[in-house]
Amino acid sequence: MHTAGWAHADIQPTNTLITHDGHAAVIDYALACGPDGPPRLPYRGALTHTTAPEIAAAILSTPADTHIQTQPAADIWSLGASLFWCGTGHRPIPYDDTTDRMEKLAVIAKATTTALRNVRPWPFPELEDTVTACLAPDPADRPTAKELTTAW
């Protein structure tokens, strides 16, 4: 999907299934953004807790009816956020649950994550390194999906 220029645009824990043979399968492509053609509907982010910082910044800086063309690197950030959240019980960027969505997005846009070592239930250095790499503030510094699949 990423190699062809598409982004899932809604990577989150509930959109990932573990199959009977132990592989992960991503589901729910309703918000997927392709490289060509007009969007089916304006993409304005998905689950707030797994929104990449660059998507949060774009949402905050554009009118509500403007499509935000998400990129594969945003999916990688969302994957890291999902793994962080599932593995620790904490979101990678802390904010109060009662905070307004736009305020949450402003916090996310700053890209200041909680150090995984401070909230992990036990050490797992390889996974921590992968999650930390996925949560790099600069999209260019994140691993690609292909790099992630060959690393494990």
| pLDDT value at residue 58 | 98
Question: Per-residue pLDDT for 48 more than 90?
Answer: yes
What is the DSSP secondary-structure string of 21-62? Answer: TS-EEE---TT-B-SSS--SS----S-GGG--HHHHHHHHHS
The domain spans of the chain are 13-33+43-151
What pLDDT was estimated at residue 150? 86
Residue-level pLDDT at 24 = 85
Architecture of domain 13-33+43-151: Orthogonal Bundle (1.10)
Of 105, 104, 46, nearest to 70 (Cα)? 46
What is the pLDDT, as a whole number, of residue 75?
98
In tens, the pLDDT along 124-145 reads: 999 999 999 999 999 999 999 9
Angstrom distance (rounded) from CA 60 to CA 101: 10
Q: How far apart are CA 124 and CA 136, in angstroms?
A: 19
| Tens of pLDDT, residues 61-103 | 999 999 999 999 999 999 999 999 999 999 999 999 999 999 9
The predicted pLDDT at position 152 comes to 67
pLDDT in tens, 2-45: 999 999 999 999 999 989 998 889 999 999 999 886 667 889 99
Burial of 83 (0-12, 13-18, 19+ CB in 10 A): buried
What pLDDT was estimated at residue 22?
A: 87
DSSP letter at 4 equals T
| Total count of residues recorded for the chain | 152
Integer Cα distance of 144 and 69 in angstroms = 18
Per the structure block, which two tokens stand in for 42? Answer: 């304006």
* pLDDT, position 37: 67
Averaged over 107-117, what is the pLDDT? 96
pLDDT at 40: 74
